[in-house]
Structure 1
Protein backbone atom coordinates (compact mmCIF):
# COMPACT_ATOMS: atom_id res chain seq x y z
CA UNK A 1 0.00 0.00 0.00
CA UNK A 2 1.55 3.25 -1.10
CA UNK A 3 0.28 6.57 0.07
CA UNK A 4 0.60 9.63 -2.08
CA UNK A 5 2.66 12.43 -0.54
CA UNK A 6 0.79 15.26 1.03
CA UNK A 7 -0.48 17.80 -1.46
CA UNK A 8 -0.09 15.40 -4.38
CA UNK A 9 -2.97 14.48 -6.62
CA UNK A 10 -4.67 11.14 -6.21
CA UNK A 11 -3.68 8.36 -8.59
CA UNK A 12 -6.00 7.98 -11.52
CA UNK A 13 -8.33 5.05 -10.96
CA UNK A 14 -9.39 5.03 -14.59
CA UNK A 15 -5.95 3.79 -15.75
CA UNK A 16 -7.05 0.25 -15.14
CA UNK A 17 -5.63 -0.39 -11.69
CA UNK A 18 -8.19 -0.89 -8.96
CA UNK A 19 -7.61 1.16 -5.82
CA UNK A 20 -8.47 -0.31 -2.40
CA UNK A 21 -11.69 0.98 -0.88
CA UNK A 22 -9.95 2.48 2.16
CA UNK A 23 -7.60 4.59 0.03
CA UNK A 24 -10.37 5.72 -2.32
CA UNK A 25 -12.48 6.72 0.71
CA UNK A 26 -9.53 8.64 2.13
CA UNK A 27 -9.01 10.50 -1.17
CA UNK A 28 -12.72 11.16 -1.52
CA UNK A 29 -12.95 12.59 2.02
CA UNK A 30 -9.87 14.74 1.51
CA UNK A 31 -11.30 16.04 -1.75
CA UNK A 32 -8.35 14.83 -3.83
CA UNK A 33 -10.34 12.82 -6.33
CA UNK A 34 -14.01 12.64 -7.17
CA UNK A 35 -15.69 9.39 -6.44
CA UNK A 36 -16.71 7.39 -9.48
CA UNK A 37 -19.41 5.69 -7.48
CA UNK A 38 -21.34 8.72 -6.21
CA UNK A 39 -21.61 12.17 -7.61
CA UNK A 40 -22.77 14.65 -5.02
CA UNK A 41 -24.69 17.65 -6.09
CA UNK A 42 -24.40 20.92 -4.33
CA UNK A 43 -27.60 21.82 -2.69
CA UNK A 44 -28.96 25.27 -3.32
CA UNK A 45 -30.05 26.73 -0.01
CA UNK A 46 -32.64 29.38 0.41
CA UNK A 47 -31.12 31.35 3.25
CA UNK A 48 -33.42 34.30 3.76
CA UNK A 49 -31.04 35.99 6.19
CA UNK A 50 -28.25 36.38 3.69
CA UNK A 51 -30.20 37.28 0.57
CA UNK A 52 -29.55 40.92 -0.37
CA UNK A 53 -32.34 43.50 -0.74
CA UNK A 54 -34.79 41.66 1.52
CA UNK A 55 -36.69 43.27 4.40
CA UNK A 56 -34.75 43.38 7.65
CA UNK A 57 -31.32 43.63 6.03
CA UNK A 58 -30.92 47.38 6.57
CA UNK A 59 -28.41 48.41 9.25
CA UNK A 60 -29.90 49.37 12.59
CA UNK A 61 -29.12 52.51 14.54
CA UNK A 62 -27.13 52.38 17.76
CA UNK A 63 -30.16 53.43 19.80
CA UNK A 64 -32.25 50.58 18.36
CA UNK A 65 -29.51 48.05 19.04
CA UNK A 66 -29.03 49.27 22.63
CA UNK A 67 -32.76 49.26 23.37
CA UNK A 68 -33.01 45.69 22.05
CA UNK A 69 -30.03 44.71 24.21
CA UNK A 70 -31.48 46.24 27.39
CA UNK A 71 -34.88 44.67 26.72
CA UNK A 72 -33.43 41.21 26.06
CA UNK A 73 -31.10 41.42 29.09
CA UNK A 74 -33.94 42.56 31.39
CA UNK A 75 -32.30 45.84 32.33
CA UNK A 76 -35.25 48.13 31.51
CA UNK A 77 -36.61 48.36 35.06
CA UNK A 78 -33.21 49.05 36.65
CA UNK A 79 -32.37 51.68 34.03
CA UNK A 80 -35.77 53.33 34.51
CA UNK A 81 -35.10 53.54 38.27
CA UNK A 82 -31.70 55.10 37.65
CA UNK A 83 -33.24 57.61 35.24
CA UNK A 84 -35.87 58.52 37.83
CA UNK A 85 -33.20 59.36 40.41
CA UNK A 86 -31.08 61.19 37.85
CA UNK A 87 -34.02 63.27 36.54
CA UNK A 88 -35.64 63.96 39.92
CA UNK A 89 -35.44 67.72 39.30
CA UNK A 90 -37.55 67.37 36.15
CA UNK A 91 -40.11 65.13 37.84
CA UNK A 92 -40.59 67.05 41.10
CA UNK A 93 -39.65 70.52 39.92
CA UNK A 94 -36.45 72.49 40.40
CA UNK A 95 -37.50 74.20 43.65
CA UNK A 96 -38.79 70.98 45.21
CA UNK A 97 -35.72 69.03 44.08
CA UNK A 98 -33.53 71.61 45.79
CA UNK A 99 -35.02 70.60 49.15
CA UNK A 100 -35.51 66.87 48.56
CA UNK A 101 -33.65 63.84 47.30
CA UNK A 102 -34.70 60.25 46.58
CA UNK A 103 -32.96 57.92 49.04
CA UNK A 104 -34.46 54.47 48.41
CA UNK A 105 -36.60 52.54 45.95
CA UNK A 106 -37.64 49.09 47.15
CA UNK A 107 -40.76 46.97 46.67
CA UNK A 108 -42.47 49.69 44.63
CA UNK A 109 -42.02 52.36 47.33
CA UNK A 110 -39.93 55.42 46.49
CA UNK A 111 -38.62 57.05 49.65
CA UNK A 112 -37.83 60.76 49.37
CA UNK A 113 -36.02 62.65 52.13
CA UNK A 114 -36.81 66.33 52.64
CA UNK A 115 -34.71 69.08 54.25
CA UNK A 116 -37.35 69.80 56.87
CA UNK A 117 -40.53 68.32 58.23
CA UNK A 118 -42.46 71.22 56.67
CA UNK A 119 -41.22 70.21 53.21
CA UNK A 120 -42.08 66.56 53.92
CA UNK A 121 -45.63 67.52 54.94
CA UNK A 122 -46.09 69.75 51.88
CA UNK A 123 -44.92 66.95 49.60
CA UNK A 124 -47.36 64.52 51.22
CA UNK A 125 -50.12 66.83 49.99
CA UNK A 126 -48.60 66.75 46.49
CA UNK A 127 -48.09 62.96 46.52
CA UNK A 128 -50.74 62.16 43.87
CA UNK A 129 -49.34 64.69 41.40
CA UNK A 130 -45.74 63.50 41.83
CA UNK A 131 -46.71 59.82 41.63
CA UNK A 132 -48.71 60.44 38.45
CA UNK A 133 -45.73 62.17 36.89
CA UNK A 134 -43.38 59.32 37.86
CA UNK A 135 -45.70 56.68 36.40
CA UNK A 136 -46.17 58.69 33.20
CA UNK A 137 -42.44 59.25 32.61
CA UNK A 138 -41.01 56.01 34.00
CA UNK A 139 -43.53 53.17 33.69
CA UNK A 140 -40.78 50.51 33.84
CA UNK A 141 -39.55 51.76 37.24
CA UNK A 142 -42.54 50.02 38.92
CA UNK A 143 -43.12 52.77 41.49
CA UNK A 144 -46.44 52.20 43.25
CA UNK A 145 -46.28 54.78 46.02
CA UNK A 146 -44.07 57.60 47.29
CA UNK A 147 -43.07 58.00 50.95
CA UNK A 148 -41.79 61.35 52.20
CA UNK A 149 -39.62 61.52 55.32
CA UNK A 150 -38.14 64.42 57.22
CA UNK A 151 -34.50 65.17 57.86
CA UNK A 152 -32.27 62.51 59.34
CA UNK A 153 -31.67 63.48 62.96
CA UNK A 154 -29.85 61.37 65.50
CA UNK A 155 -31.99 59.41 67.90
CA UNK A 156 -30.84 57.98 71.19
CA UNK A 157 -34.01 56.00 71.78
CA UNK A 158 -33.47 53.26 69.17
CA UNK A 159 -30.65 50.91 68.34
CA UNK A 160 -28.68 48.02 69.79
CA UNK A 161 -27.12 50.06 72.61
CA UNK A 162 -30.24 51.94 73.75
CA UNK A 163 -31.24 51.69 77.38
CA UNK A 164 -34.60 52.62 78.75
CA UNK A 165 -34.79 55.81 80.70
CA UNK A 166 -34.81 59.55 80.34
CA UNK A 167 -31.86 59.68 77.96
CA UNK A 168 -29.02 62.21 77.70
CA UNK A 169 -30.88 65.25 78.99
CA UNK A 170 -28.37 66.34 81.58
CA UNK A 171 -25.16 65.23 79.89
CA UNK A 172 -24.75 68.30 77.68
CA UNK A 173 -23.62 71.37 79.53
Structure 2
Protein backbone atom coordinates (compact mmCIF):
# COMPACT_ATOMS: atom_id res chain seq x y z
CA UNK A 1 0.00 0.00 0.00
CA UNK A 2 2.63 2.52 1.05
CA UNK A 3 5.28 1.15 -1.24
CA UNK A 4 6.58 -1.29 1.43
CA UNK A 5 6.97 -4.91 0.40
CA UNK A 6 5.54 -7.16 3.13
CA UNK A 7 5.57 -10.34 1.10
CA UNK A 8 8.43 -12.07 2.93
CA UNK A 9 8.67 -11.42 6.65
CA UNK A 10 8.86 -14.71 8.56
CA UNK A 11 11.99 -16.86 8.49
CA UNK A 12 11.70 -20.58 7.78
CA UNK A 13 13.42 -22.56 10.53
CA UNK A 14 14.39 -25.60 8.47
CA UNK A 15 16.05 -23.90 5.50
CA UNK A 16 17.07 -20.52 6.88
CA UNK A 17 14.93 -18.77 4.27
CA UNK A 18 11.80 -16.65 4.71
CA UNK A 19 8.22 -17.87 4.47
CA UNK A 20 5.38 -16.00 2.77
CA UNK A 21 3.26 -13.68 4.87
CA UNK A 22 0.40 -16.13 5.09
CA UNK A 23 2.14 -17.97 7.97
CA UNK A 24 2.54 -16.03 11.23
CA UNK A 25 5.14 -17.23 13.77
CA UNK A 26 4.29 -16.86 17.45
CA UNK A 27 6.00 -17.43 20.80
CA UNK A 28 8.85 -19.88 20.87
CA UNK A 29 8.81 -20.33 17.07
CA UNK A 30 9.59 -16.64 16.68
CA UNK A 31 12.45 -16.92 19.21
CA UNK A 32 13.90 -19.93 17.38
CA UNK A 33 13.69 -18.05 14.10
CA UNK A 34 15.56 -15.07 15.60
CA UNK A 35 18.27 -17.42 16.95
CA UNK A 36 18.67 -19.10 13.56
CA UNK A 37 18.96 -15.70 11.87
CA UNK A 38 21.65 -14.64 14.36
CA UNK A 39 23.59 -17.88 13.78
CA UNK A 40 23.37 -17.42 10.01
CA UNK A 41 24.63 -13.85 10.36
CA UNK A 42 27.57 -14.99 12.52
CA UNK A 43 28.42 -17.74 10.04
CA UNK A 44 28.37 -15.22 7.19
CA UNK A 45 30.89 -13.07 9.07
CA UNK A 46 33.20 -16.05 9.52
CA UNK A 47 32.49 -16.86 13.15
CA UNK A 48 31.47 -20.30 14.30
CA UNK A 49 28.39 -20.16 16.54
CA UNK A 50 29.14 -21.31 20.08
CA UNK A 51 32.88 -20.50 20.02
CA UNK A 52 34.66 -17.76 21.97
CA UNK A 53 35.57 -14.46 20.34
CA UNK A 54 39.01 -14.34 18.69
CA UNK A 55 41.83 -12.45 20.32
CA UNK A 56 40.72 -13.06 23.93
CA UNK A 57 42.79 -15.46 26.00
CA UNK A 58 40.70 -18.10 27.69
CA UNK A 59 41.69 -18.65 31.32
CA UNK A 60 41.04 -22.32 31.91
CA UNK A 61 42.49 -22.31 35.44
CA UNK A 62 39.91 -21.04 37.91
CA UNK A 63 40.75 -20.23 41.50
CA UNK A 64 38.38 -21.74 43.98
CA UNK A 65 39.31 -19.73 47.08
CA UNK A 66 40.84 -16.34 47.72
CA UNK A 67 43.94 -17.57 49.51
CA UNK A 68 45.77 -15.96 52.41
CA UNK A 69 45.52 -12.35 51.23
CA UNK A 70 42.41 -10.17 51.14
CA UNK A 71 40.29 -10.41 48.03
CA UNK A 72 37.11 -8.79 46.65
CA UNK A 73 35.34 -12.10 47.01
CA UNK A 74 35.91 -12.22 50.78
CA UNK A 75 33.02 -11.26 53.06
CA UNK A 76 33.05 -7.52 53.71
CA UNK A 77 31.94 -5.67 56.86
CA UNK A 78 28.55 -4.02 56.43
CA UNK A 79 29.89 -0.57 57.37
CA UNK A 80 32.51 -0.68 54.62
CA UNK A 81 29.94 -1.70 52.02
CA UNK A 82 27.52 1.02 53.16
CA UNK A 83 30.22 3.71 53.02
CA UNK A 84 31.27 2.55 49.54
CA UNK A 85 27.65 2.74 48.31
CA UNK A 86 27.24 6.20 49.86
CA UNK A 87 30.42 7.44 48.16
CA UNK A 88 29.39 5.97 44.79
CA UNK A 89 25.96 7.60 44.88
CA UNK A 90 27.06 10.96 46.31
CA UNK A 91 25.30 10.65 49.67
CA UNK A 92 28.31 11.52 51.85
CA UNK A 93 27.30 15.15 52.54
CA UNK A 94 23.72 14.20 53.45
CA UNK A 95 24.95 11.47 55.79
CA UNK A 96 27.35 13.85 57.51
CA UNK A 97 24.49 16.30 57.95
CA UNK A 98 22.41 13.52 59.46
CA UNK A 99 25.21 12.79 61.94
CA UNK A 100 24.92 16.36 63.24
CA UNK A 101 21.29 15.67 64.20
CA UNK A 102 21.91 12.12 65.47
CA UNK A 103 24.96 12.97 67.61
CA UNK A 104 23.91 16.48 68.68
CA UNK A 105 24.29 15.86 72.44
CA UNK A 106 27.79 14.38 72.05
CA UNK A 107 28.94 17.11 69.66
CA UNK A 108 27.90 20.19 71.66
CA UNK A 109 27.68 18.80 75.19
CA UNK A 110 24.79 17.71 77.39
CA UNK A 111 24.05 21.11 78.93
CA UNK A 112 23.85 22.91 75.56
CA UNK A 113 21.84 20.05 74.00
CA UNK A 114 19.33 20.27 76.84
CA UNK A 115 18.45 23.86 75.86
CA UNK A 116 19.12 23.89 72.10
CA UNK A 117 17.71 21.73 69.29
CA UNK A 118 18.95 21.56 65.69
CA UNK A 119 16.11 22.19 63.25
CA UNK A 120 17.51 22.31 59.72
CA UNK A 121 20.80 22.10 57.83
CA UNK A 122 21.06 23.55 54.34
CA UNK A 123 24.08 24.83 52.40
CA UNK A 124 26.31 24.67 55.48
CA UNK A 125 23.95 26.71 57.67
CA UNK A 126 22.61 24.92 60.74
CA UNK A 127 19.45 26.39 62.24
CA UNK A 128 19.27 25.89 66.01
CA UNK A 129 16.29 26.73 68.21
CA UNK A 130 16.98 27.71 71.82
CA UNK A 131 14.57 27.05 74.68
CA UNK A 132 14.72 30.67 75.92
CA UNK A 133 16.01 34.04 74.80
CA UNK A 134 18.78 33.83 77.41
CA UNK A 135 20.00 30.56 75.89
CA UNK A 136 19.73 32.03 72.39
CA UNK A 137 22.08 34.85 73.51
CA UNK A 138 24.44 32.34 75.14
CA UNK A 139 24.52 30.21 71.95
CA UNK A 140 25.35 33.28 69.86
CA UNK A 141 28.34 33.91 72.14
CA UNK A 142 29.43 30.23 71.88
CA UNK A 143 28.87 30.08 68.11
CA UNK A 144 32.53 29.73 67.04
CA UNK A 145 33.29 27.11 69.65
CA UNK A 146 30.21 25.09 68.68
CA UNK A 147 31.21 25.15 65.00
CA UNK A 148 34.70 23.88 65.96
CA UNK A 149 33.22 21.06 68.06
CA UNK A 150 30.88 20.01 65.26
CA UNK A 151 33.73 20.10 62.72
CA UNK A 152 35.89 17.94 65.01
CA UNK A 153 33.10 15.37 65.43
CA UNK A 154 31.59 15.24 61.95
CA UNK A 155 34.05 16.84 59.53
CA UNK A 156 35.13 20.22 58.24
CA UNK A 157 32.76 22.12 56.00
CA UNK A 158 29.57 20.33 57.05
CA UNK A 159 28.46 23.24 59.27
CA UNK A 160 29.87 26.63 58.28
CA UNK A 161 27.39 28.96 60.01
CA UNK A 162 24.86 28.79 62.83
CA UNK A 163 21.51 30.52 62.70
CA UNK A 164 20.16 30.72 66.22
CA UNK A 165 16.46 31.26 66.85
CA UNK A 166 14.76 32.05 70.13
CA UNK A 167 11.62 30.33 71.33
CA UNK A 168 8.59 30.57 69.08
CA UNK A 169 5.90 33.10 69.98
CA UNK A 170 2.26 32.13 69.62
CA UNK A 171 0.92 32.65 66.14
CA UNK A 172 -2.54 33.83 65.14
CA UNK A 173 -2.21 32.33 61.70
CA UNK A 174 -4.06 29.10 61.19
CA UNK A 175 -3.77 27.46 57.80
CA UNK A 176 -1.81 28.32 54.67
CA UNK A 177 -3.67 31.54 53.71
CA UNK A 178 -4.00 34.81 55.59
CA UNK A 179 -5.05 38.41 55.01
CA UNK A 180 -2.60 41.26 55.63
CA UNK A 181 -3.17 43.48 58.65
CA UNK A 182 -3.43 43.10 62.39
CA UNK A 183 -6.22 40.55 62.28
CA UNK A 184 -8.23 39.60 65.38
CA UNK A 185 -5.85 41.43 67.75
CA UNK A 186 -7.19 44.86 66.72
CA UNK A 187 -10.41 44.33 68.70
CA UNK A 188 -8.64 43.71 72.00
CA UNK A 189 -8.77 46.43 74.73
TM bucket normalised to smaller: 0.5 to 0.7
Structure 1 CA distance for aligned equivalents of residues 167 and 157 of structure 2:
25
- Alignment match, 1:163: 181
For residue 96 of structure 1, report the CA deviation from its aligned partner: 1.2
Ranges in structure 2 where 5+ consecutive residues have no aligned partner: 1-13, 15-39
Q: TM-score, normalised by structure 2?
A: 0.58
Of the two, which has the highest radius of gyration? Answer: 1
In structure 2, do the counterparts of structure 1 residues 123 and 77 end up closer, same or farther at CA, with 3 Å as the change threshold?
Answer: same
Work out whether 1:120 is the aligned partner of 2:124: no
For residue 30 of structure 1, report the CA deviation from its aligned partner: 7.5
Q: Greater relative contact order: 1 or 2 (C-alpha under 8 angstroms, separation 6 or more)?
A: 1
CA contact (8 A) 1:112 1:147 kept: yes
Ranges in structure 1 where 5+ consecutive residues have no aligned partner: 4-21, 32-39
CA contact (8 A) 1:77 1:140 kept: no
Root-mean-square deviation (CA), in Å? 3.9
Structure 1 CA distance for aligned equivalents of residues 61 and 138 of structure 2:
64
From 99, 123, 129, the equivalent of 1:107 is 123
Q: TM-score, normalised by structure 1?
A: 0.63
For residue 73 of structure 1, report the CA deviation from its aligned partner: 1.6
| Residues paired across the two proteins, number | 137
Say which SS state the counterpart of residue 119 (structure 2) adopts: strand
